[in-house]
């Protein structure tokens, strides 16, 4: 593996957690291996590993973008990741308020429901 992949895997684990990454890796097949390598190197090894923004800010903007695009599963995953990135519930709320103004109330309304449900799940002991 490349240095970029190694950095990407380290950043991915720090943001999403070992359990999530281990489960994703266990589901990997020959079909999606090239895609997994791409996102590990490009998204996690390059973008998320850049020094100019801390993980908290990257987390906030990612939540806003995913909410805007209606990417429900990814949105919930990144809300869960705030436990590792330092983004707070207030940060999530503010990001989604921006979504309401700049991307539309329906997108924000839907994302707020997903965020509320995900945050509630995070508060429930296993």
What's 30's DSSP letter?
T
Blockwise average pLDDT, block size 10, the chain, 126 residues: 93 96 96 96 97 98 98 98 97 98 98 98 84
User: 67, 107 in Cβ contact below 8 A?
Assistant: yes
Q: What is the pLDDT of residue 126?
A: 63
Residue 86 and residue 57: Cα distance in Å, rounded? Answer: 9
Residues contacting residue 112 through CB under 8 Å, at least 6 positions apart: 96
User: 99, 111 in Cβ contact below 8 A?
Assistant: yes
User: 21, 13 in Cβ contact below 8 A?
Assistant: yes
- Full-model pTM: 0.93
């Amino acid at each position: 593996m490349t240095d970029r992949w190694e950095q990407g895997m380290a950043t991915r684990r720090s943001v999403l957690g070992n359990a999530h990454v281990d489960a994703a890796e266990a589901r990997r097949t020959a079909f999606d291996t090239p895609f997994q390598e791409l996102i590990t190197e490009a998204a996690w090894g390059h973008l998320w590993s850049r020094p100019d923004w801390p993980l908290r800010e990257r987390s906030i903007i990612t939540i806003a973008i995913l909410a805007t695009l209606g990417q429900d599963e990814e949105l919930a995953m990144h809300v869960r990741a705030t436990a590792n990135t330092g983004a707070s519930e207030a940060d999530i709320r503010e990001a989604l308020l921006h979504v309401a103004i700049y991307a539309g109330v329906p997108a924000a309304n839907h994302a707020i429901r997903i965020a509320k449900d995900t945050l509630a799940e995070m508060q429930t002991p296993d």
